[in-house]
Amino acid sequence: MNPLTILTEDEIAFKEAIREFAENEIRPLVTKMDHDAQMDKNLVGKLFEMGLMGIETPEKWGGAGSTFTMACLAVEELGRVDGSVSVMVDVQNTLVTNALLKWASDKQKDKYLPLMAQKWVGAYCLSESSSGSDAFALKLRAEDKGDHYLLNGHKLWITNANEASLYLVFANIAPSKGYKGITGFLVEREFAGFKVGKKEDKLGIRASSTCELIFENCKVPKENVVGEVGKGYKIAIETLNEGRIGIGAQMLGIAEGAYEATLNYIKSREQFGKSIAQFQGVQFQIAEMRTQLEAIRLMVYNAARLKDAKKDFLREAAMAKLFASRAAEKICSIGVDLFGGNGFTKEYPIEKYYRDAKIGQIYEGTSNMQLQTIAKMELG
């Protein structure tokens, strides 16, 4: 697609580099990873080699020292080829690393940020079986034992769980205080009493691991508390506000991949003696897809720019995620229609884009939660 004038030359060059990487290193693996529901281990290493797992991390900790917008551009370009790889990079950058940069102590940053930039995958652990949209109904308990805490309970639907070495976990140290007892903890994979449980068999983004986490007297040193005790709710909410822009970027990438695949297909598919791209009914649908795609792009880039400029972006983030996830599903659906019967088979790429797009309306805040956020800000 044509270079975008709303991006700087450096940003365009960055996007082009990621696109080349995605085409050469990821696309050949997409079908097998989706079928096996397994991320290629060698590919994870290549993501680190490319510097994609510490985009905003300052150079002194081994990162690229770049911007949130750059992280979103990477998520977009990866999503254009595979939504599973895209969300791994998204969670790493916009959730876990962002939380560490903002809330971790200097000692925690010195220990974990270099690892996160160079070899450790991170996971953001908030959701539970009874705590989805009602994020603060979590039941994972943390008991103060003097020099450490003991964590007991379960987490569910945790992205990157299989690959992660570091887990940002939210637990309640004082259930009687409600959300004011929620505290953030950094849990290493090798901590005693912690293990990764059942892996979900999903509709889409199948190569992205989504698992249960089990805590049975998991011992966490007090030095691994993130931020202030009892202020975990603030870390969780503020981090998710940023993460929603990342999900918008993922949806942008998926929509772009679906659009390009459809455009190529209709030019080569012939019916009644000519390509179906020559039929006005098809042309109108292509025009609709491209218009929706560019609307997603503008909303996502705008929200990311506001975040980088340290301006209020909560409403714009909610709007970007809401619109991007809905429009991406619509774009992919039109694509399936235009592929016809071929679009309903796994021989062609469009059905995977369609399956991958659906999650955007569910995770990191459902569409209804985004509507609630937008309405609250409008109505006061």
pLDDT at 5: 63
User: Do 240 and 140 share a structural domain?
Assistant: no
Tell me, what's the pLDDT at 229? 96
239 and 181, same domain (yes or no): no
Residue position matching structure tokens 């079986």? 129
Domain end (from 121, 153, 169): 121
CA dihedral 7, 8, 14, 17 (to 10 degrees): 80
Reading the block at residue 254, the tokens are: 């998926």
Last residue of one domain, picked from the residues 80, 103, 121: 121
Judgement on whether residues 117 and 128 belong to the same structural domain of the protein: no
200-224 tens-digit pLDDT: 999 999 999 999 999 999 999 999 9
Question: Locate tokens 């160079």: which residue?
Answer: 118
> Would you call 143 a catalytic residue per the annotation?
no
- The per-residue pLDDT for range 89-125, each reduced to its tens digit, is 999 999 999 999 999 999 999 999 999 999 999 999 9
Using only C-alpha atoms, the chain has a radius of gyration, in whole angstroms, of 21
CATH of the domain at 59: 1.10.540.10
Residues 349 and 240 in one domain: yes
Select from 358, 262, 247, 249 the least CA-distant residue to 298. Answer: 249
CATH assignment at residue 351 = 1.20.140.10
> What's the confidence (pLDDT) of residue 1?
52
Is 17 a member of any domain?
yes
Q: Is residue 329 part of a domain?
A: yes
Quick check: is 1 in a domain? no
Q: Judge if 275 and 350 occupy the same domain.
A: yes
| Structural domain containing residue 63 | 9-121
DSSP state of 227: S
**In terms of C-beta density within 10 A (0-12 exposed, 13-18 middle, 19 or more buried), how is residue 315 classed?**
middle
Q: Give the end-to-end CA distance of the chain in Å, rounded to a whole number.
A: 41
The structure's pTM equals 0.97
pLDDT in tens, 49-89: 999 999 999 999 999 999 999 999 999 999 999 999 999 99
pLDDT tens-digit profile, the chain (380 residues): 554 568 999 999 999 999 999 999 999 999 999 999 999 999 999 999 999 999 999 999 999 999 999 999 999 999 999 999 999 999 999 999 999 999 999 999 999 999 999 999 999 999 999 888 887 889 999 999 999 999 999 999 999 999 999 999 999 999 999 999 999 999 999 999 999 999 999 999 999 999 999 999 999 999 999 999 999 999 999 999 999 999 999 999 999 999 999 999 999 999 999 999 999 999 999 999 999 999 999 999 999 999 999 999 999 999 999 999 999 999 999 999 999 999 999 999 999 999 999 999 999 999 999 999 999 999 98
Compute the distance between CA of residue 138 and CA of residue 120 in angstroms, rounded to an integer.
26
Q: Determine, yes or no, domain membership for 2.
A: no
Asked if 185 and 71 sit in the same domain, the reply is no
Of the three residues 101, 121, 141, the one that is the final residue of a domain is: 121
Q: Among 56, 216, 364, 378, which one carries the catalytic annotation?
A: 364
Positive or negative, the CA dihedral 358, 362, 364, 370 is positive
**Is residue 332 domain-shared with residue 359, that is, in the same domain?**
yes
DSSP symbols for 130-195:
TBSSSGGG---EEEE-SSEEEEEEEEEEEETTTTEEEEEEEEES-GGGGGGGEEEEEEETTSTTEE
Query: Structural domain tally of the chain?
Result: 3
Are residues 315 and 251 located together in one domain of the fold?
yes
User: How many Cβ atoms are within 10 Å of 109's Cβ, its own excluded?
Assistant: 18
In angstroms, the CA 259 to CA 297 distance is 13
Q: Is residue 4 part of a domain?
A: no
What CATH code is carried by the domain that includes residue 204?
2.40.110.10
Q: Are both 226 and 182 inside the same structural domain?
A: yes
Question: In this structure, are 268 and 328 located in the same domain?
Answer: yes
β-pair type (148-159, 141-144): antiparallel
pLDDT the model gives residue 3: 46
Residue with tokens 């469009």: 350
CB atoms within 10 A of CB 287: 10
Strand partners, 154: 214
Q: How far apart are CA 27 and CA 254, in angstroms?
A: 13
